[in-house]
Structure formats: C-alpha cells, structure tokens
Amino acid sequence: MPATLELKGLDELRTALRNLPDDLTDEADAIVQAHADEAARQIRGGYPAVSGNLQRGVTVERNTSKLTSTAVVRSRARHAHLFEHGTGPRRTGSGASRGVMPKAPSNQQMIPIAIRVRGRMVRLLIDLVRRAGFEVS
C-alpha cells in the first residue's frame, strides 16, 4: 500500500503566508529552504555510497519570490527506484540468475524522509503565522 499524507488547511496557511510582513516572509523562506536542504541531506545519507550516483542525483530546486518560497527535492538518479522499491528475481537473457534487489528500509527511502521533514516544516510555518497574530486551526 503506498504511503499517503493528508494535510488539511494548507490553502489557508498559504494565504496567511502571502499576507505576512517582509521580515516574516524572510523567516518563512529560511524555514522552507532549510528543511529542503535537511531532506536532501537525509536522503543522501540514506543512499549507499557504492558509486555515489544515487547521492549525487539528489537535487534541490529553489524558487523564491515576494509571494512564495518553494523547494523541490528530487532524486534524479535513473536507478533510484531500484534502491527504493527493490526488484523481483532477475535473470539475464541466457537465464543466469542475478538475484533480487531488496527494498530499502523505510528510514532510507526518499518519500518517508520527505514526509517527516515536511511535517516539521509545516509545524514551524504554523508557529510562525501564529506568532504573527494569525489563527491557525
């Protein structure tokens, strides 16, 4: 069963964040960017360092403007899905067994790491808008 994450009230949170004064938007941007960097660090740390391709494939794309601060953490290595999800039994064209790639433990998989870090980020952003006098429920 795939992992799911449901967050209610994100539209209201985004609206509140757009209406923050400049000093608070700077703080919100710092929170978003720091958590993106932390997620990337943890994901890289979970990947094995056999060739380093998995670790080098983790990127953070940033987009910051007056109204928004976003960061997208991606795992761009072509074989990342093999590490994340594993494989069934593999055989060559001539029938030679190449074994099974086991699924990575959840503490090393990208999505569970991203969910945990994003949850911490959202809590800090909620605290930020509450300190600014907004009501978050």
What pLDDT, on the 0 to 100 scale, is given for residue 113?
A: 95
Q: For residue 58, what pLDDT is reported?
A: 95
pLDDT tens digits along 44-84: 999 988 888 999 999 999 998 877 889 999 999 998 988 89
One DSSP character per residue, the chain reads -------SSHHHHHHHHHTS-HHHHHHHHHHHHHHHHHHHHHHHHHS--SSSHHHHTEEEEEEE-SS-EEEEEEE--TTHHHHHH----EE-TT--EEE--PPPPGGGSHHHHHHHHHHHHHHHHHHHHHHTT----
| Range from 8-22, 96-110, 119-133 carrying the lowest mean pLDDT | 8-22
Q: Is a pLDDT exceeding 60 seen at residue 1?
A: no
